[in-house]
Amino acid sequence: MNGAQALMKTLADAGIAVCFTNPGTSEMHFVAALDSEPRMRAVLALFEGVATGAADGYARMADKPAATLLHLGCGLGNGLANLHNARKGKVPVVNIVGDHATTHTQYDAQLQSDIETVARNVSPGFVRTSASTEALCQDAVDAVQAARGLPGQVATLILPADVSWGEGAQPCAPPAVPAAPAADDASVQAIAQLLRSGKKTALLLGGQALRKPGLLAAARIAAQAGVPLLAEVFPTRLTRGAGLPAVERIAYLAEMAGVQLADLEHLILVDAKAPVSFFAYPGKKSDLVPDGCSVHTLAAPEQDALASLEKLCAALGAQQAQPRLQAPLRPGRPTGRLTAPKVCKAVGHLLPEGAILIDEAITSGLMLGAMTAGCPRHDLITLTGGAIGQGLPNAVGAAIACPDRPVIALIGDGTAMYTIQALWSMAREQLHVVSIIFNNASYSVLNVELERVGAGEGGAKARAQLDLAGPRLNFAQLAQGMGVHAVRASTAEDFTQALEYALATPGPHLIEALVPESLSGAKRKLLPWLLKSLPSLPRPVARALKQKIAP
Amino acid sequence: MNGAQALMKTLADAGIAVCFTNPGTSEMHFVAALDSEPRMRAVLALFEGVATGAADGYARMADKPAATLLHLGCGLGNGLANLHNARKGKVPVVNIVGDHATTHTQYDAQLQSDIETVARNVSPGFVRTSASTEALCQDAVDAVQAARGLPGQVATLILPADVSWGEGAQPCAPPAVPAAPAADDASVQAIAQLLRSGKKTALLLGGQALRKPGLLAAARIAAQAGVPLLAEVFPTRLTRGAGLPAVERIAYLAEMAGVQLADLEHLILVDAKAPVSFFAYPGKKSDLVPDGCSVHTLAAPEQDALASLEKLCAALGAQQAQPRLQAPLRPGRPTGRLTAPKVCKAVGHLLPEGAILIDEAITSGLMLGAMTAGCPRHDLITLTGGAIGQGLPNAVGAAIACPDRPVIALIGDGTAMYTIQALWSMAREQLHVVSIIFNNASYSVLNVELERVGAGEGGAKARAQLDLAGPRLNFAQLAQGMGVHAVRASTAEDFTQALEYALATPGPHLIEALVPESLSGAKRKLLPWLLKSLPSLPRPVARALKQKIAP
């Protein structure tokens, strides 16, 4: 048995069932070994960012890692942005990065580069170059164990070609999955006491706490203590919909987050980090925790968030408390000229039970949360690391993890173009994914940010850098060129009908929504002024305004 | 004047006239500053790999660096593969990578990552995070100087947002361009003596030696000494065509390179490295220099290759020697069912004087060199670092560097998909680029490599990883979706007519050549056997066979 064959068996034994691939010559033995292991599914991507983003989406839904197969340092580089999103989302991924044979590296051939250095950016916890065919399978077990621990992480195993083709390899037994500890009794008691004190307190949930069991436990605590539930701004995976506790996500815009967090005396973190501004802005604080507010940790990312919440629930005697649950509610069918909010409305009107909703719509998705809050239960996946180009690849992986659940990916035009090659993998694997592209012909969010960072309104050259209108992209043609059924819609009626058809018809679909910018003209001019005013307004007015802008 | 404005002036003063951009929020002050500097052209890309590949292509043709503008570590990661190609080609590039404000990094916000670590992979010689607005412009001067030195390199300047927006910056004067030394007299005399010895010797040219003046000097030396001229396998830029000395590129396949280098007693390097195998293969040497052949360096990459060749020319008294020049010769117009060699033939039939030819056609481009050898003078750009996805972005940059010269990019279907977004930038800037995509629905080279590395013929799952037929891409639709005029051709007549039209009509065009695999069926089965046999055949037979396969 050669290294690649033993590695394949070791990965399959460790529960890895899918490998998202974009191989080159140095990975040919791994590719050949695919046929020796019926438990391993290989999904080809045309670009590494698709492979890594698919592995991320897969793990978010399957709750276990997939492998990627990447070609040397350049292949890893191409996959880096979506591995960054996985890292920030604490998502387990096992990268297999092929390298030149160990005997070949000394010659500095064309594709030679320092792979470990690149890998450290996204795999700070586990980067290893396998030194020999004999060591390979244990290296793989260690990589899977590192990836699957709490918090989940990206593990990178670098596989030299001669380690892969060498004979005499032995598969290794799968790693033990380490049990994560719950919060200790003293911490739980201290937080319980805080919650009984009547001080203005909120729970901030992230990571594992945003699945159904965690949400229910947190909602009982919230009901018992009379405190609000907040969620991190970009959850890895948030289970939501009618019959589940609703949580309010921290806003992307720091000024709005300020309104949400104002007056808090205590903030309790559950598998979440204390909120910080996404970017820095001149003269503004990056730390969003209000002055005088104490931050407490119930469960750190390396702890068991659910067990910790249940301990806190018990300490408060809240096991029988009635959690506030979201009532069923769907928006009506939108009509008239298509706009981004109407797209969100149509999605809310039709969202099927069990759908996987992927939100990378940036400004166009502002109303998505409100429009789908009362829909049947579904999962929401968001842009955890801020590296755009995540949504379409995530959809590939989520659909492979959950073949019986429809995937709806809402994607901005700018973001869609980073990893547009994902559409081909959707067609190849005949995945039931509906990709909705908001074509507003603009990096709309940057038009807002240009002014928010104090760089002024921008001259003609500056504005041109944020403008996608010359020429305007035709996403329906792009999708058709990759074998995906696609239509364009410029009325709400057409859009809604297209979405109905796509949801009812298995296989991939793309619907291009031709919409005006959500924040254009007067609205964009008003926004900076409004954001600046928010902190000085009376709280109820500020909250009402914030809800109006980003519910 | 803020940091960004002073930086913009400093870059323009240093001769940087173009910035290939894909900005985000942290780069908004740099974007705003574009309007303060009329000498700086900004070219937007939809993906960072396009921006970096365009900067590479620009510098190859303009002989000076462009800047890139990238968004944090993820943006740099997306641009890494084409920066790798630039690094391997010794091409100067100045990356400006925006970062969070220095005050913001401590909060580990979503987009925070270790940028310097990623940059070191491609910028080992210059990575600097500018520490203050005051230091910024000197940092930029140092970056430009590092990039422009000999050998050219990728320099990365990391620009924190607050360094960019800070006031009180002062532009700095441009760096002195350091003069590179020629080979010293002793080395020149020693090599001259070698060339007079009558031993079997060849000159291996690379880098700067492959431009017209270097080629002419080398050809005089070759004529005087009666030695052959070889060129590195993947030249950064090779000037060629009728009336110029012809050089024989080292073959990609090690077995064929072995035939070219067989029996050599001395190999003289001129801005080139000793030939090594592109990949390692079990049981085969990576070092392609024959046993017993001595390697000598006339000019290392940090030396002046042309001045060194001229010194050697003088030492040999070869200044008046008649160099062997390529005779004018064009292939006829191809007819019948379209194949990859016929595409190359049509290109040779029509190639205009002064064209820039970009070859990333992999197996489909095997005949390109032979078919264009006697065409009017043109420049050839190749895949220096082996990281596919270079060709289309290179075409963007080359066309911007040389607006009066037509650019013809020959690209494989697999490779085209890595940076297909380049087509949009061609349309936006209305560049006269003809992109020829060979659609053979396969990673054809990997079908060859699978067997060459000894991984066997591959089972169904393995073969599927190398197959792009399900679904077959439609590049004409992809191009049209990005605003580029495009047609598909499946006959040589249609293809040639489309190429004539494209060359005569300014603006971007894409011609999709529907071709069978160049190495399919019996040919592919024959190839490994043939390659294995080459070394044992009589030299003239081996050379004739090699010429037949890869002229």
Q: A253-307: per-residue pLDDT in tens?
A: 888 999 999 999 999 999 999 999 999 999 899 999 999 999 999 999 999 999 9
Question: A493: which DSSP letter?
Answer: H
**For residue B201, what are the β-bridge partners?**
B266
pLDDT at A451: 82
Strand partners, B512: B437, B488
For residue B49, the chain A residues in CB contact (below 8 A) are 78
The full length of chain B comes to: 551
A111/A81 same-domain check: yes
Q: Tell me: do A348 and A484 sit in the same domain.
A: yes
Close Cβ partners of B526 (under 8 Å, ≥ 6 residues apart) = none
A45, two tokens: 């991507």
C-alpha span between A327 and A375 (Å, rounded)? 9
pLDDT at A452 over 90: no
Low-confidence residues in chain B, pLDDT < 70? 551
A227 pLDDT exceeds 90? yes
Instruction: State the burial class of residue B168 (Cβ atoms within 10 Å of its Cβ: 0-12, 13-18, 19+).
Output: exposed
pLDDT at position A434: 98
Q: Which pLDDT score, from 0 to 100, does residue A536 have? A: 83
Residue of B nearest to A82 (CA): B74
pLDDT, position A519: 75
Assess whether pLDDT exceeds 80 at residue A503: yes
Residue A533's pLDDT is 83
- Both structure tokens of A147: 């990836």
**Dihedral through CA B124, CA B126, CA B132, CA B137, nearest 10?**
-160
CA A435, A436, A441, A445 torsion-angle sign: negative
| Cβ-based neighbours of B224, under 8 Å, separated by 6 or more | B195, B313, B316, B317, B318, B321
User: Mean pLDDT lowest for which of A78-87, A279-288, A425-434, B79-88?
Assistant: A279-288
Tell me the whole-structure pTM to 2 decimals: 0.97
Q: Best mutation site among A110, A164, A295 for testing chain B: the one with the most B CBs within 10 Å?
A: A110
Q: Do the domain assignments include residue A150? A: yes
Q: Are strands B378-382 and B238-240 parallel, antiparallel or unpaired?
A: antiparallel
Question: How much is the mean pLDDT over chain A?
Answer: 95
Indicate the Cα dihedral angle A427, A430, A433, A439, nearest 10°.
20
Helix (H, G, I), strand (E, B) or coil at A182: coil
Closest chain B residue to the Cα of A382, Cα to Cα: B110
Q: Residue A115 pLDDT > 90, yes or no?
A: yes
Residue B536 burial class via C-beta count within 10 angstroms: exposed 0-12, middle 13-18, buried 19 and up = exposed
Q: Are residues B229 and B279 in the same domain?
A: yes
pLDDT above 90 for A68: yes
Q: Is the pLDDT of residue A524 over 80?
A: no
Q: Under an 8 A CB cutoff, do B279 and A26 touch?
A: yes
Work out the percent of chain A whose per-residue pLDDT is above 90.
Answer: 88
Q: Which two tokens stand for residue B506?
A: 């300014």
What pLDDT shows up at residue B272? 98
**What does R_g of chain B's alpha carbons equal in angstroms?**
24
**pLDDT single digits (tens) A9-56:** 999 999 999 999 999 999 999 999 999 999 999 999 999 999 999 999
Task: Name which of A100, A453, A482 is nearest B279 (Cβ-Cβ).
Answer: A100
> Helices marked H in A265-328 — which ranges?
305-316
By three-state DSSP, how is residue A44 classified? strand
Contacts of A118 in chain B (CB under 8 A): 77, 80, 117-118, 121
User: Among B440, B410, B426, B418, which Cα is nearest to B480's?
Assistant: B426
pLDDT at residue B533 in the model = 83
Query: Does residue A546 form part of some domain?
Result: no
In this structure, are residues A394 and A54 in contact, taking their beta carbons and an 8 Å threshold? Answer: yes
Mean pLDDT of A195-206: 97
Count Cα atoms within 13 angstroms, Cβ side, for A526. 8
* Three-state SS at A432: coil
Among B279, B446, B474, the residue with its CB nearest the CB of A481 is: B474
In the numeric block, which tokens belong to residue B190?
Answer: 């020693």
Q: Residues A189, A253: one domain?
A: yes
Give CA B165 to chain center in angstroms. 36
Phi-psi region of A283 (alpha: psi -120 to 50; beta: other; left: phi over 0): left
| E-strand stretches of B311-400 | 356-360, 378-382
- Is B178 inside a domain boundary? no
For residue B331, is it within any domain? no
Identify whether the C-beta of residue A391 lies closer than 8 Å to the C-beta of residue A408.
Answer: no
Query: What pLDDT score does A456 carry?
Result: 81
Is B324 contained in some domain? no
Cis amide bond preceding A471, omega within 30: yes
Flag whether pLDDT at A212 surpasses 90. Answer: yes
Parallel, antiparallel, or unpaired for β A93-99 and A294-299?
unpaired
Which of A121, A390, A439, A468 is best to mutate for the B interface (most B CBs within 10 A)? A121
End-to-end CA distance of chain B, in Å?
58
Domain with residue A17: its CATH number is 3.40.50.970
- A386 neighbourhood in chain B, CB within 8 Å: 74, 109-111
Q: B471, A483: Cβ pair inside 8 Å?
A: yes
CB count in 10 Å sphere of residue B263: 9
Find which of A44, A74, A466, A488 to mutate to test the B interface (most B CBs within 10 Å of its CB): A74
Q: Which residue among A35, A109, A461 sits closest to B35, beta carbon to beta carbon? A: A461
To test the contact with chain A by mutation, choose from B279, B383, B442 the residue with the greatest count of A C-beta atoms within 10 A, namely B279
Q: How far apart are CA A169 and CA A7, in angstroms?
A: 8
Contact B104 A279 (CB under 8 A): yes
CA A11, A83, A358 angle in degrees (round to 5)?
100
**Same domain (yes/no): A309, A350:** no
- For residue B483, what is the nearest residue in chain A, using CA coordinates? A471
Q: Do B74 and A478 touch (CB under 8 A)?
A: no
Q: What is the rounded CA–CA span in Å between residue B374 and residue A106?
A: 38
Estimate the share of chain B in helix, then strand, then coil, as percent rounded to the nearest 5: 45, 20, 40
Structural domain count of chain A: 3
Q: What is the distance in angstroms between the Cα of B314 and the nearest Cα belonging to chain A? A: 33
- Residue A179 covered by a domain: no
C-beta atoms of A32 and B458 within 8 A: yes
**What pLDDT, on a 0 to 100 scale, did the predictor assign at position B543?**
83
Instruction: Please state, in angstroms and rounded to a whole number, the distance separating the CA atoms of residues A127 and A115.
Output: 10
Name the residue among B109, B110, B421 with its Cβ closest to that of A417: B421
Tell me if B62 is assigned to some domain.
yes
Looking at the fold, whether B358 and B283 belong to one and the same domain comes out as no
Report ipTM (2 d.p.).
Answer: 0.96
Q: Shortest CA distance to B494 belongs to which of B441, B440, B436?
A: B436
Question: Please, is B153 exposed, middle or buried when counting C-beta atoms within 10 Å of its C-beta (0-12, 13-18, 19+)?
Answer: buried
- B56 shares its domain with B151: yes
For chain A, the distance separating the N- and C-terminal CA atoms, rounded to the nearest angstrom, is 58
Helix (H) or strand (E) holding B492: helix B492-504
Question: Chain B residues with CB inside 8 Å of A164's CB?
Answer: none
Chain A, nearest residue to B113 by Cα: A121
CA distance A320 to chain B (A): 37
Higher pLDDT, residue A443 or B237: B237
Question: Do B235 and B300 reside in the same domain of the chain?
Answer: yes
**Phi, psi angles (nearest 5°) of residue A432:** -85, 80
User: Which residues are B267's β-sheet partners?
Assistant: B202, B295
B468-471: Cβ within 8 A, 24+ apart: B468/A46, B468/B413, B468/B414, B468/B441, B468/B442, B468/B443, B469/B441, B469/B442, B470/A428, B471/A424, B471/A427, B471/A428, B471/A482, B471/A483
pLDDT of residue B136: 98
Burial string for A416-438 (b: 16+ CB within 10 Å, else e) reads: bbbbbbbbbbbbbbebbbbbbbb
Last residue of a domain, one of B282, B315, B348: B315
Output the domain CATH number for residue A306.
Answer: 3.40.50.1220
Tell me if A139 sits within 8 A of A118, measured CB to CB.
no
| Residue located via tokens 């532009």 | B171
Q: Are A31 and B472 within 8 A, CB to CB? A: no
Chain A: residue whose CA lies nearest to B110: A385
Cis? peptide before B471, omega within 30° of 0: yes
A315 CA to chain B: closest CA distance, Å? 32
Which of A517, A487, A520 lies closest to A505 in space, CA to CA? A487
- Dist. CA A272–CA A29, nearest whole Å: 41
What local confidence, expressed as pLDDT, does residue A540 receive?
Answer: 84
Burial tier of A376 (Cβ tally within 10 Å: 0-12, 13-18, 19+): middle
pLDDT of residue A538: 86
Token code pair at residue A383: 């842009």
DSSP-derived secondary structure letter, A354:
T
Residues A28 and A159 in one domain: yes
The model's pLDDT over A375-395, given as tens digits with 9 standing for 90+, comes to: 999 999 999 999 999 999 999
Whether B59 is in a domain gets the answer yes
Mean predicted confidence (pLDDT) in A178-202: 96
Residue A373 to residue A344: CA distance in whole angstroms: 11
The SS3 of residue B230 is strand
Do A123 and A207 belong to one domain? no
pLDDT on residue A549: 72
Choose the closest CB to A480 out of B233, B445, B474: B474
Q: Could A111 and B472 be called an inter-chain contact, meaning their C-beta atoms sit closer than 8 Å? A: no
Chain A residue whose CA is closest to B283: A162
CA within 13 Å, CB half, B95: 45
Contact by Cβ (8 Å): A86, A52: yes
How high is the pLDDT of residue B147?
97
Q: What pLDDT score was predicted for residue B523?
A: 76
Range of the domain at A385: 340-519
Residues A241 and A294 in one domain: yes
Using 50, 70 and 90 to split pLDDT, how confident is the model at A168? very high
Nearest CA to CA, how far is B420 from chain A (Å)?
9
Length of chain A: 551
Give the minimum alpha-carbon distance from A282 to chain B in angstroms, rounded to a whole number: 7
Q: Which of A31, A77, A446 sits opposite B462 (nearest CB)?
A: A31
Are A360 and A492 contained in the same domain?
yes
